């Protein structure tokens, strides 16, 4: 028998391994024997995980200072995490996206759901942007990047080091060009008939949110001849998609001037700048002001940041979603449509829907929920990880 080159960590005797054997991808620090040797492992160390009886459960990536102390990499404890290992996972993810999409613009790797925990890779044609959000991803980055180029043929690979997850893992926030050359400006990304301008080096996350693609498409079906309000618009997500589908006019609201500038550039690329308008400001303030102005829209969509990123912030987050729903519902013209979105995994669908319903009722409005949307298939859901199914989009006719 060949000895594993990896160190061993072990579940506490009282911890049942059933959930892990059935696919749970995370092991928490209170489930493990945390002796001095285990605590002394370097962040990102790959180790063999054993149950309390010393039976191997698989290979894990270890973050000794994180609550999520081990992330499952491979159920085969004899596997070797090298370039070939990454190539197999990347090729499997790539094959699925190529089958689904007729465009080279999509999320290629969605962390645990694609077998690469803590790693996000978005593809923008010939450019790939990696977010290595777990310590082990930094350790294996060279093998990961080499396999990525081999599988996809991209000529440029960028590293985006922003985000709360990297801070929690004790990682730096330095962006880098890993392969090729950085683009000399925003990159044009066609999607749902619109053209989005993505800042891949300095923009939010990897530069564009692919997860809303199917919800943009549904909103576009409601948009012909409509006056549209897109709040928390980022680079014009819903606004540009509705313009492409024949909206009469779209107003994009966001607190970020750079994001709105990119949105306006997208409208110019589409030749629709005369039907597009932006308004910078706090979303709550702008929604209130529009109500005081007597503004009304046929379609209002609000896609805020995560108001409830964890259980601790859940109640405050639900109150914020309720307030958004109230202010937005007041702006919807009779028989118009309201779209409300949440990317907070702590606020599950039922809680989010209840908050939205309360807000709509407080606005003195009523109407059926006509559609519930989720992230696209390039953001697959890990069946044993609720956090991977974070996005909800509710559409009402008021």
Whole-number pLDDT of residue 12: 94
Whole-number pLDDT of residue 167: 73
C-alpha distances out from residue 141 to 46, 68, 105, 204, 392, Å: 13, 20, 22, 22, 32
E strands, the chain, where? 8-10, 26-28, 45-50, 56-62, 68-74, 105-110, 119-124, 127-132, 156-159, 176-179, 187-191, 194-198, 227-231, 249-254, 276-280, 297-302, 332-342, 369-373, 392-397
Identify the CA nearest to 266 among candidates 183, 193, 210, 339.
193
Delineate the domains of the chain, giving CATH numbers in brackets: 8-74 (2.30.130.10), 83-179 (3.30.750.80), 187-397 (3.40.50.150)
What phi, psi does 176 have (nearest 5°)? -155, 155
Whole-number pLDDT of residue 240: 98
Whole-number pLDDT of residue 1: 45
Give every strand in the sheet of 56-62, ordered side by side.
8-10, 45-50, 56-62, 68-74, 26-28
What number of other Cβ atoms are within 10 A of residue 314's Cβ? 17
User: Which one of the listed residues 302, 341, 343, 356 is annotated catalytic?
Assistant: 343
Calculate the dihedral angle through the C-alpha atoms of 137, 141, 144, 148, rounding to the nearest 10 degrees. Answer: 120
Q: Which residues make beta-bridge pairs with 197?
A: 188
Enter the DSSP assignment of 6. Answer: S
pLDDT, block means (10 residues), the chain with 398 residues: 80 90 93 91 95 94 92 96 98 98 97 96 97 93 98 97 76 89 96 96 83 98 98 97 98 96 98 98 98 98 94 95 98 98 94 98 98 97 89 98
Q: With beta carbons less than 8 A apart as the criterion, state whether 28 and 67 touch.
A: yes
Whole-number pLDDT of residue 226: 98
Identify whether 343 is a catalytic site residue.
yes
Q: With beta carbons less than 8 A apart as the criterion, state whether 159 and 172 touch.
A: no
Whole-number pLDDT of residue 3: 61
């Amino acid at each position: 028998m060949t000895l594993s080159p990896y160190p061993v960590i072990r579940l506490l005797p009282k911890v049942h391994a059933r959930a892990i054997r059935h696919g749970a991808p995370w092991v928490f620090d209170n489930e493990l024997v945390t002796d001095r040797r285990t605590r002394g492992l370097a962040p990102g160390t790959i180790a063999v995980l054993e149950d309390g009886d010393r039976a191997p459960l698989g290979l894990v990536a270890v973050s000794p200072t994180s609550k999520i102390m081990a992330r499952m990499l491979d159920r085969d404890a004899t596997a070797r995490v090298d370039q070939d290992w990454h190539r197999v996972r990347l090729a499997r993810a790539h094959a699925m996206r190529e089958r689904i999409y007729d465009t080279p613009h999509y999320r290629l790797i969605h962390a645990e759901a694609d077998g690469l925990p803590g790693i996000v890779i978005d593809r923008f044609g010939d450019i790939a942007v990696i977010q290595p959000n777990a310590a082990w991803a930094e350790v294996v980055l060279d093998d990961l990047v080499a396999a990525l180029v081999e599988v996809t043929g991209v000529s440029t690979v960028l590293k985006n080091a922003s985000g709360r997850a990297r801070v929690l893992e004790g990682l730096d926030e330095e962006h880098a060009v890993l392969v090729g050359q950085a683009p000399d400006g925003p990159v044009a990304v066609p999607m749902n008939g619109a053209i989005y301008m993505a800042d891949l080096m300095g923009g939010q996350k990897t530069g564009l949110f692919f997860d809303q693609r199917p919800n943009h498409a549904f909103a576009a079906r409601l948009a012909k001849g409509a006056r549209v309000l897109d709040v928390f618009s980022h680079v014009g997500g819903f606004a540009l998609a509705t313009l492409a589908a024949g909206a009469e006019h779209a107003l994009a609201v966001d607190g970020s001037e750079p994001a709105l500038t990119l949105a306006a550039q997208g409208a110019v690329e589409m030749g629709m700048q005369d039907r597009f308008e932006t308004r910078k400001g706090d979303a709550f303030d702008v929604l209130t002001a529009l109500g005081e102005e007597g503004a009304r829209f046929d379609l209002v969509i609000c896609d805020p940041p995560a108001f409830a990123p964890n259980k601790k912030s859940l109640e405050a987050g639900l109150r914020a979603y309720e307030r958004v729903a109230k202010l937005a519902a007041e702006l919807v013209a009779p028989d118009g449509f309201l779209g409300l979105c949440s990317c907070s995994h702590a606020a599950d669908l039922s809680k989010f829907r209840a908050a939205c319903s309360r807000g709509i009722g407080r606005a003195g409005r009523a109407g059926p929920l006509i559609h519930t949307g989720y992230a696209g298939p390039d953001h697959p859901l890990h069946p044993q990880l609720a956090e991977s199914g974070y996005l909800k989009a509710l559409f009402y006719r008021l």
